[in-house]
Amino acid sequence: MNQIGVLMTYPMFTHLEKELENRYKLFRQWTLQEHELEHLLEQNAHMIKAVVACAEVGINKKMINLLPRLEIVATFSVGYDKIDLNKCIENDIKVTNTPDVVTEDVADLAIALALSTLRKICVCDGFVRKGLWKIGDFSSNVSFKFTGKSVGIVGLGRIGSAIAKRAEAFNCPVSYYSRSRKLNNNYKYYTNIIDLAANCQILFVACSLTEETRYIVNRDVLNALGREGILINIGRGLHVEESELVSALLEGRLGGAGIDVFENEPDVPDQLFGLDNVVLLPHVGTSTMETCTEMANLVIKNLEAHFKNGPLLTPVL
């Protein structure tokens, strides 16, 4: 298999990188300038048959055109919005992702964001670290409880359902909005997101990114959620109209937000940095050692299955 070339788009996880290097001829896209990358691809296009992508860097039409022998794109993520699926279909290129293994970690982080935002965990931590506790007390900076808050979930798939299960443990009434009613639960279903936002205190965004869900959280939704509402986004940055989120927070039309994903990562609006009702994370929903190892192993297994002409474990295409 050493003669099979694999292009890795981004430094994802050391274990994955080492496993790829042990099995294939590995090319690291992030180490090259654009002109260097194009030259490398021209020189090695005959052997590069796989691309390992991720949520940060996928593969577009231009790159696919530079790789005429490309057979498979295996992404180290659940989402595949950074991959040009239409071009992959056109060129008969297989695509795989890493679903299921990330569910528990992302759901855990969603609840952690809600707790951190409501209980002002980051603000409290900063207060202690800066030595301010020694010169004044924190009692005037009262936080809010999570237990019993009404929870709304946008998208009740694997991750949304896992969030709902955790929220139930905090005695939170759960409601949701999705394309269709789910039959295997007793949660209240809303036929549109504005009604959901108007009837919950914490709104979790957990749907997949499609053209229909792009900017699904807009000014109207944020206004419906209201000045005491909390938005938690562990889906994709493009689910939320970021400029409207910033305005709602600055103007006090929204109570707070916990955000793991942003519209133009790694760029984050500067206006958010000074707000103590916002918790900001660098897209780490799946970033635990256990889950990253499982994701890496799944990427490897999909590649091995493909090159042995076996069935893919987690095909997208």
Q: Catalytic residue, from 236, 241, 242, 244: name it.
A: 236
For 148, the token pair is: 């019993």
CA atoms within 13 A on the CB side of 94: 21
Cα–Cα distance, 159 to 136 (Å, whole number): 41
Nearest Cα residue to 106 out of 233, 263, 216, 268: 233
144 touches 156 (CB < 8 A) = no
Active site includes 38?
A: no
Give SS3 for 73.
Answer: strand
284 touches 64 (CB < 8 A) = no
Strand 188-190, strand 174-177: pairing: parallel
Q: Catalytic residue, from 17, 158, 283, 294: name it.
A: 283
Nearest Cα residue to 292 out of 18, 62, 58, 9: 18
Active site includes 69?
A: no
**Three-state SS sequence of 260-316:** CCCCECCECCHHHCCCCCEEECCCCCCCCHHHHHHHHHHHHHHHHHHHCCCCCCCEC
Indicate the burial class of 195 (C-beta count within 10 angstroms; 0-12, 13-18, 19 or more).
middle
User: What's CA 175's distance to the chain center, in Å?
Assistant: 22
Active site includes 219?
A: no
Q: Cis ω on the peptide bond leading into residue 68 (within 30° of 0)? A: no
For 224, the token pair is: 């419906």
Q: Catalytic residue, from 90, 228, 265, 304: name it.
A: 265
Provide the annotated active-site residues: 236, 265, 283
